[in-house]
Amino acid sequence: SLLLRAACTSHNAQVADTAAQRSELEASRRKDIYALKAMVAKNGKLVGDEALQLHGGIGMTDELDVGHYVKRLLRINSTLADEDFALREYARLALD
């Protein structure tokens, strides 16, 4: 019975270690994802702004594909988190 109890205790410790490692890995992945999202949002906005600057007002019309791409970039930012939100989440995870 003592041997069985020791084996169970050892197994429980291993399971707890594995769960802690998974939790750390998950937090690290989420932090990396938010860092990447902040970069994508920043650069997507830059590309969209430059495209509109280059093409002028016609760039936002349906007559040019540029307008569709700029609108898609704006939709991605509003749906998947903008740069500010991604940076705040990254900072929160980095400080934990």
Tens of pLDDT, residues 24-75:
778 889 999 999 999 989 998 899 889 888 888 777 777 888 888 888 888 8
Number of domains in the chain: 1
Instruction: Tell me whether residue 6 is in a domain.
Output: no
- List the domain range (segments joined by +) for residue 42: 26-95
Q: Give domain status of residue 56, yes or no.
A: yes
Q: How high is the pLDDT of residue 39?
A: 92
Greater confidence, 85 or 96?
Answer: 85
Q: Is residue 78 part of a domain?
A: yes
pLDDT at 88 > cutoff 90: yes
Domain annotation covers residue 2: no
Q: 63 near 92, Cβ under 8 Å? A: no
Look at 16 and 91; give whichever has higher pLDDT. Answer: 91
Residue 47's contacts (CB-CB under 8 Å, 6 or more residues apart) are 73
pTM confidence score:
0.67
- How far apart CA 69 and CA 91 sit, in angstroms, is 30
- C-beta of residue 41 within 8 angstroms of C-beta of residue 82: yes
Classify residue 54: in a domain, yes or no: yes
